[in-house]
């Protein structure tokens, strides 16, 4: 690769964080260390960390990590380390046939990382850095998480010797000319901006703002060239220019957030940004190296997972009912429209599923039917079995197990009715201007065993008092009540074949099996049990539904 260094583009890497409690600094540090250790020319690599929480803990952790990086990266290059996030790499001991030199260096690096980790964890537990907020930390002394000035600190330079998939927010590379509002028709065959398409200086300032440095850099980027700072460039002046551009008010009156950069208007700005890029005619490519180049930390525990899913569902509904709706937005390929519709209508599907599961309970309670009887029922059963076998074969072909397939089947039911439905309501309330959407940060934890699962919680669901679990618990209680009414013979008598059939009973039983973790939560205690407040709310809603069903019988 280094034989063609001149052909390699310059890469800016961005790491975002917002809360040192929910997103521990040690996780951010490992992310940054793995990026700095990329096998890429150092002069063409830059890493930026954006902390919306303005935490001195995060800055302190990165400052300490910069010293460790000067030793860690040469170690990775010397021994061709593949997993370059230290907290993952040091999970496993060296192989027995390793050289004595490697074992000695490995132990030295592990001791240094343990020391670094201990210092960061100790500061995180105290929620303060080991010294007063003076010197480099003085700027953090009078700041608030939700109201703070632009703070930019230079810590260390980069070290290291269809139309395509959706933009999913992480592990994506963007060309600057793409996020600068260029379309393929604006670029000639040499991948340069055509001469007659070069905007004037006035137009550039209207698009990019009044920063001379940014306009100069953007002009070169649009032409397919690289902005190179001179050796005599003053670092303080560069930081001052960056601070000016990073200010919250800089983008007002420009195209940032509307046509350029990350598009505003939804908490799932990644999908909206990718949609805008595809609308302009650009293509995206999927790259899946083996081993995987980048991996993230999945939320541990059901509450954190549901919070993340709810945020995504809310953002998707926002996009669906906005001017960026895939059916109305730009000139996307027809199949690309279908793909984006599949993604953005996820929150809407929760409404359909909620109606379906309520209809099941209603039919059993009132002894009515909405599914076909006898031969028609077996056609639906056959189609359902074919669908299940098809999805199972896809899982097995991907190297996944039957257990993983089943876990996903039941979680798709739990996720849709709980997180999806609450996310849909949140988006509707915002559209009706009843309430605003709160951006919920997902907790990220470092697993000591490296498998992202706390051994004490392995295979068990945890719950909290969030309203997220009210819809699912209500549906479970409804299905249990409906089955009990059927078994106890409390249904009204219907003449002919108009009564509740086998299809409704089978579907209700299948739902109860899918909701088995919630059923266990009704009887468990502590964090493994559904809180009493949630059970009471769900029981009240279930009782109201049964009462209304009974009233329809009387009418």
Residue that is written with structure tokens 């551009």 in the block: 245
Would residue 270 show up in a list of annotated catalytic residues for this protein? yes
Q: Cα–Cα distance between 190 and 194 in angstroms, integer?
A: 9
Q: Cα–Cα distance between 349 and 415 in angstroms, integer?
A: 11
End-to-end CA distance of the chain: 78
Q: Check: CB of residue 443 under 8 Å from CB of residue 376.
A: no
Which one-letter DSSP state was computed for residue 436? P
| Tokens read off for 499 | 């009564």
Q: Cα–Cα distance between 35 and 14 in angstroms, integer?
A: 10
- DSSP, collapsed to helix, strand or coil, labels residue 227 as coil
Nearest to 28 by CA among 14, 17, 19: 17
CA 108 to chain centroid, in Å, comes to: 36
Give me the phi and psi of 507, to 5 degrees please. Answer: -65, -40
Q: Cα–Cα distance between 329 and 326 in angstroms, integer?
A: 5
Q: Check: CB of residue 276 under 8 Å from CB of residue 324.
A: yes
Which residues partner with 13 through β-bridges?
47
What CA–CA distances, in Å, run from 91 to 45, 85, 105, 229?
28, 11, 16, 41
- DSSP, collapsed to helix, strand or coil, labels residue 225 as coil
- Find the catalytic residue in 51, 105, 181, 270: 270
- Find the catalytic residue in 52, 186, 255, 464: 52
DSSP states along 80-92: T-S---HHHHTTS
Residues carrying an active site annotation: 52, 270
């Amino acid at each position: 690769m280094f034989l063609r260094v001149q052909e390699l583009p310059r890469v800016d890497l961005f790491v975002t964080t917002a809360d040192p409690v929910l997103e521990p600094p040690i996780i951010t540090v490992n992310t940054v260390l793995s990026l700095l250790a990329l096998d890429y020319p150092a002069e063409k690599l830059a890493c930026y960390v954006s902390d919306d929480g303005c935490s001195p803990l995060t800055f302190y952790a990165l400052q300490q990590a910069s010293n460790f990086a000067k030793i860690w990266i040469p170690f990775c290059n010397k021994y061709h380390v593949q997993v370059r996030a230290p907290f993952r790499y040091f999970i496993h001991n060296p192989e027995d046939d390793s050289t004595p030199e490697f074992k000695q260096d490995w132990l030295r690096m592990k001791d240094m990382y343990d020391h670094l980790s201990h210092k960061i964890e100790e500061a995180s537990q105290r929620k303060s850095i080991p010294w007063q907020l003076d010197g480099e930390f003085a700027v953090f002394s009078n700041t608030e998480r939700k109201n703070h000035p632009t703070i930019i600190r230079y810590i260390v330079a980069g070290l290291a010797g269809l139309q395509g998939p959706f933009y999913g927010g992480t592990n994506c590379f963007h060309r600057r000319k793409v996020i600068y509002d260029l379309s393929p028709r604006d670029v000639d065959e040499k991948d340069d901006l055509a001469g007659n398409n070069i905007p004037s200086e006035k137009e550039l300032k209207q698009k990019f703002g009044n920063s001379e440095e940014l306009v100069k850099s953007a002009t070169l980027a649009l032409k397919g060239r690289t902005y190179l700072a001179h050796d005599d460039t003053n670092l303080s002046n560069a930081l001052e220019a960056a601070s000016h551009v990073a200010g919250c008010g800089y983008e007002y009156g420009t195209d940032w957030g509307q046509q350029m950069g990350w598009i505003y208007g939804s908490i799932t700005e990644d999908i909206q940004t990718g949609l805008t890029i595809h609308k302009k005619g650009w293509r995206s490519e999927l790259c899946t190296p083996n081993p995987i180049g980048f991996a993230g930390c999945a939320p541990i525990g059901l509450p954190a997972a549901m919070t993340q899913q709810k945020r995504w569902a809310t953002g998707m509904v926002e996009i669906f009912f906005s001017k960026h709706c895939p059916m109305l937005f730009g000139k996307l390929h027809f199949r690309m429209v279908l793909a984006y519709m599949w993604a953005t209508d996820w929150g809407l599907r929760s409404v359909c599923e909620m109606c379906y599961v309520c209809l099941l309970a209603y039919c059993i309670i009132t002894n009515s039917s909405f599914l076909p009887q006898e031969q028609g029922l077996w056609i639906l059963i056959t189609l359902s079995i074919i669908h299940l076998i098809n999805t199972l074969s896809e899982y097995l072909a991907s190297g996944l197990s039957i257990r993983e397939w089943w876990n996903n089947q039941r979680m798709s039911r739990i996720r849709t009715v709980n997180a999806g439905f609450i996310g849909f309501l949140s988006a509707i309330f915002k559209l009706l201007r009843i309430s605003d959407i709160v951006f919920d940060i997902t907790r990220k934890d470092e697993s000591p065993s490296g498998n992202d699962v706390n051994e004490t919680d392995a295979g068990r669901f945890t719950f909290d008092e969030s309203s997220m679990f009210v819809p699912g618990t209500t549906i479970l209680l409804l299905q249990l009540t409906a089955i009990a009414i059927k078994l106890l013979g409390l249904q009204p008598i219907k003449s002919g074949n108009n009564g509740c059939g086998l299809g409704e009973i089978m579907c209700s039983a299948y739902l109860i099996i899918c909701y088995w973790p919630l059923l266990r939560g009704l009887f468990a205690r502590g964090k493994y049990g559904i809180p009493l407040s949630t059970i009471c709310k769900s029981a009240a809603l279930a009782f109201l539904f049964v009462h209304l069903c009974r009233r329809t019988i009387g009418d």
